[in-house]
Structure 1
């Protein structure tokens, strides 16, 4: 790359000869190649993009920084995370790697260690990771039952203000679907969500109380104008939560946004049930977010046995019906997923391999940018005239090159200025990890 100093660029300048996924450029100024990329010159002035044109044509818009065909993405959006649990692996490992082991480890750690200072520092660590990787918006689920719930939401509110202008934050209140029927537990959830402008959530599983729990969630969402964001059919092959969710949304003619996370049981349903359920989901306007890395880690784990059920939901079949689909980070370095770094490029890279999001690549890059941004209602995820110049530049000239090497090196611009992309040192949290 040659030209402008990206840490101190002029008032008006041009990123020349960039390659961008065409699905992230609403007004295409040029032809699209076989991988779905368009070659662009991108004019910037101050914080914003002022013009897009075919590569090599913006010769009068200021000094040029030549990218020589390198890949550029807009600000990325992580639609499903758990920032309250993040980065506790060192002090709360999941010793057998199972879902039950994760629940036990998190429950014990939450009771012992989740003070305001602990949550605040781990939240900030996670957001520094995401920021360095080019993420501009995050939705997090917050465990919202028990005496620690208010503390987590209070810290979330502080972090939302502290990080305003760098990462837009939303939160979902999370309790078990059986607990929704408990008056005290549900009142706590609803009060916290309303106080902090969040969304109603729950995690569903096989239970005789599923319909009653969903009905109460829908009624509260309708009464208070809230969106719904649920964990659905994550750990049980026989789960029918997605079907029940879609039927209830249609019966109630619910008009608010609904996001269903995981939906893993769909991968092992028979063809008739898949068709019936996905048709209902499409009619109900439900969006789906898959969490491929976490589900691969947890599901079908038995000591000494190679896993068969890999837990990824039916992204291709959903997308073909017009259902909005996305992928996200989910858990990071906690008992539910021992790895991860809130890097959506890593998430997309793994999702592309796991779920065959290639041949052709088509508009799949939208699932970490345009689609989650639209669902969150934030300005991000596309390159267009007038949008903020939040961009990531990669040392790759094609999607094949981009997906072929570990996604570490990148240059991140925020408001047109290069930021420090060094991720925080794990040692920053060492004193927290020494707690019992």
Structure 2
């Protein structure tokens, strides 16, 4: 069946049908024990009844009366999960670029823009634009960090709550409070922030580098999370300085307190510069503490080891292979999108997967790596069986013309079909011109 016929069928499908002969990563099909091919794919039939996955069978078992869409080995992925984004910062690049591309430049530009322009209207419009981008690309769940500093907490968190309600039937949204450790230790800042996060069902967090009073800040964060039953999510060691070791401190604190909530850490760039013995000790602690790690490879490559007129040598991408070998849950995410921390992107997790594979050598074999934008981040967000092909799950899928992971990662896949509740949606992302009136002149 050609692409036009597939699109026509899925735009107005029957209440029950079969996607026949699709290929999927074996690790994402836990109900079937099939021998995968050399890329880790299996070929299956996927039954859709009343908007949900009603069953999975090995390809070739055809005894069923349902309408059948033959897909000839086309690749399918479950709903994509973006576990680390910054929707409050997104798309400010045209009005507040990072003129030298440095980390310090990003911090300064973001602060200027936040203090001057992040009204409720501004944040709401850019956040909605970002959500439409992600939705068009096949994402079903997003966790965003929100700058929770001074008066911005009272602006951005209600906007987030409003968008979470508006999008509830299309995207699962979570938010993390992002504030420096000094604010965690400030009663006037931290008390109202914890109350807001607890009331709106968010996640507590901080960025851990640089921080002079990190252990005191961690103790206070953990205590607040324990008191209110909240999870924790940290920006960790986003630097190439090998002396940055807050990842080990977080793990030690979690173990000492026997913390029962979920902990996620992002970046962990300094690991790539530390001695093997230090890395081994740190990763052993992280594994014991049950901490998940999210790599943000595109943003890290953009910011790390940048100097004018000099080609970067150290790239700052964290140690995904070594972590996975220890059983540490690892994942990848969009992070920043068209803001001072990363000038590019579109909240497209297929792009994130493609770049992560190339940057971190997540191939030869591909094996289980597609779970870094599906099942692993879904588990980190507490979303049960999301990101997997399981009976009873919503039929939220992405279908590609690609028949292998190599084909998938060799082209942008702009012609993918995204299914929500078994029916294709419009995959046209919104036009950036919609935000022109918010941009003004670049500073």
Structure 1 length normalisation: TM-score? 0.98
Aligned twin of 1:398: 404
SS of 1:104's equivalent? helix
2:17–2:48 Cα contact (<8 Å) kept: yes
Name the SS for the 2:184 alignment partner.
Answer: helix
Q: Deviations over 1:64-105 (max 9, x none)?
A: 111111100000000000000000100010000011111111
- Aligned match of 1:228: 232
| Corresponding residue pairs, total | 436
1:243 to 239, 242, 248: 248
Residue 409 of structure 1: CA displacement? 2.1
Unpaired segments ≥5 residues, structure 1: none
2:280 corresponds to 1:275? yes
2:309 is aligned with 1:304: yes
Q: 1:70 aligns with which of 65, 74, 80?
A: 74
1:353-432 alignment, distance < 5 Å? 353-378=358-383, 379-432=385-438
Q: State the 1:261 CA deviation.
A: 0.6
C-alpha separation between the residues in 2 aligned to 1:99 and 1:367?
A: 26
Matched, 1:174 2:178: yes
Q: Is the 8 A contact 1:205 1:236 kept in 2?
A: no
Cross-structure match for 1:46:
50
1:344 aligns with 2:345: no
| Alpha-carbon distance between aligned partners in 1 of 2:68 and 2:272, rounded to the nearest angstrom | 49
- Equivalent residue, structure 1, for 2:223: 219
User: What is the CA distance between 1:199 and its match in structure 2?
Assistant: 0.5
How many angstroms apart in 1 are the aligned matches of 2:439 and 2:169?
A: 30
The alignment partner of 2:77 has SS state of strand
Aligned to 1:138: 142
Partner of 1:122: 126
Which whole-Å CA distance do the structure 2 matches of 1:353 and 1:97 have between them? 22
Q: Unaligned 5+ residue runs, structure 2?
A: none
From the superposition, tell whether residues 14 and 294 of structure 1 become closer, same or farther in structure 2 (CA, over 3 Å): same
Q: Pick from 322, 345, 362: which aligns with 1:317?
A: 322
Cα deviation for residue 362 of structure 1 reads 1.1
| C-alpha RMSD of the superposition | 1.2
Whole-angstrom distance in 2 between the partners of 1:58 and 1:385: 18
Which position in structure 1 is the counterpart of 2:205? Answer: 201
Aligned with 1:5: secondary structure?
helix
In structure 2, distance between residues paired with 1:109 and 1:87: 11
Deviation of the 1:149 alpha carbon: 1.6
Contact 1:206 1:236 in 2 (8 A): no
